[in-house]
Structures are given as structure tokens and as C-alpha cells.
Amino acid sequence: MILYSYIGLVLALVNICMLLILISIYWKNYRKWKSQYTIGLLVFGIFLLLQNILSLYYSAPPPGPSPGPMPGPTPGLIESPHYIPLLLINTSQLIALAALLKISWK
């Protein structure tokens, strides 16, 4: 399960980098055209960025061993039930953001 947390962490970081690129593209487009559509894209990108920052926080593996031993393959580490769902969310966002970046990149 700890492996899933590291993979989710990397995916969240990649998503954040792609979102920062997309937000900068949308900001340049807004400054050029002053379109309401680009404002919507900026707001959407900022909220998605905040969501990915939270995902980064919750995908991070625990900082150290727990106070007491826990049964399982890695005693002493706290296992979270959120690792696999966050991994799936981050993977689907990675695919969607890669497509959006390919369309938006000039």
C-alpha cells in the first residue's frame, strides 16, 4: 500500500506541474483577448490546482512509524484506505490534463 502512496504522490506532482502550465497559458490568453471563457478556464484550473494540492497532502506516506505496532506486511506504518482511490483519481486527471495540455499548447 505504501507503493500506491508514492505513485499517487508522483502523479499529483505531475498534475500540479501541468496545471501550472495550463493556468499560465489561460492567463496569457485572457490578457490577449479578455474573454469570459478564459476566466472560466482560469477559475476551473485554480480549483483543480487546489484539489491536487490536497491530493498531494493525502497521498503522502506517513512521516514515520506509529506509536504502537500494527499487524501487516510493514509493521509500524499507518495504512490509509485512501491510497488506491486517490491513485485512480490522480491517474484519470493525468490523462485528462495531458489531453487538455496537448490541445492548449501552441
The answer to whether the CB of 86 falls within 8 A of the CB of 8 is yes
Domain count of the fold of the chain:
1
Q: Confidence band (pLDDT; 50, 70, 90) for 86? A: confident
| DSSP element (H, E) containing 94 | helix 83-104
More confident residue, 33 or 71: 33
8 CB-near residues (< 8 Å, 6+ apart):
55, 59, 83, 86, 87, 90
CA atoms within 13 A on the CB side of 13: 7
pTM for this entry: 0.82
**Does residue 70 form part of some domain?**
no
Measured at the alpha carbon of residue 73, what is the angle toward residues 58 and 84, in degrees to the nearest 5? 30
**Does residue 58 form part of some domain?**
yes
**Does residue 35 form part of some domain?**
yes
Q: Which domain holds residue 36?
A: 2-62+79-104
Percent with pLDDT over 70 in the chain: 82
Which tens digit of pLDDT belongs to each residue from 36-56?
A: 999 999 999 999 999 999 988
The answer to whether the CB of 10 falls within 8 A of the CB of 4 is no
